[in-house]
Structure 1
C-alpha cells in the first residue's frame, strides 16, 4: 500500500540553530583551553591565573582566551624566566596546541546537539 509523506524544512531555522550550536561549542572549547592553560600559567600570587577569561565573538565564530594583567604577554613570551615546577612560559600557546582535537570534538558535539 502506497504512503504519502510531506516534510517541511526550514533552512533558515536550521542555519540559526547550527550557528548557535557552533558558537556555544567555540565558547566551551575556549573554556577548555583556559582550564588547561590555568594549570601551567606562571603562578606567584595567582593574579595572572585569576585574570584569565574565555569569550566568543558570535558573528565571526571566533573564540578568545586572554589574560588581563600588565605582565601577561611578557610572562608568556619570555622563555628565559624561571617558573615554579609545572609552570611555564607559552602557557596559552601550548595549551591551545595540545587541545586542538578536543576543541574540535567539543564544537562538533555542540553542533550535533543543536541540530536535534
Structure 2
C-alpha cells in the first residue's frame, strides 16, 4: 500500500492514520529521508496518535545543514527520539539488523 504525501508529515493529508487504525495496528516501524523533518514529525505524530514506534536508527538519512553534519543530525534525532513518549505510547530506536517487527516497548514500561 502506498500513500502520497505533500507535507513533511506522513500523516498529514494522507489516509495513513485511517488505514493503520482500521487494520488495528498498534506498532509501526519508521525509516526514510529528511531526518529532521519527515522522520521527526512522523515519530512524534505516531506516538500521539496511539502507536508505539520503532525508529530504525541506521535507516534514516539527511543532508548536511549549514550548522550540523548529516551524521550529527541523525545521531541527535536517534538520541532525542529514543524513549520519546506521549503518555501511553513511545518510540525506541533500534538498528536494522534487529528483529524490528517484534516490538520491545513493553520491556521499557
TM-score (norm 2): 0.24
Name the structure with the higher helix share. 1
Name the structure with the higher strand share. 2
Relative contact order (alpha carbons < 8 A, sep ≥ 6): 1 or 2 greater?
Answer: 1
Between structure 1 and structure 2, the one with the greater Rg is: 1
TM-score (norm 1): 0.23
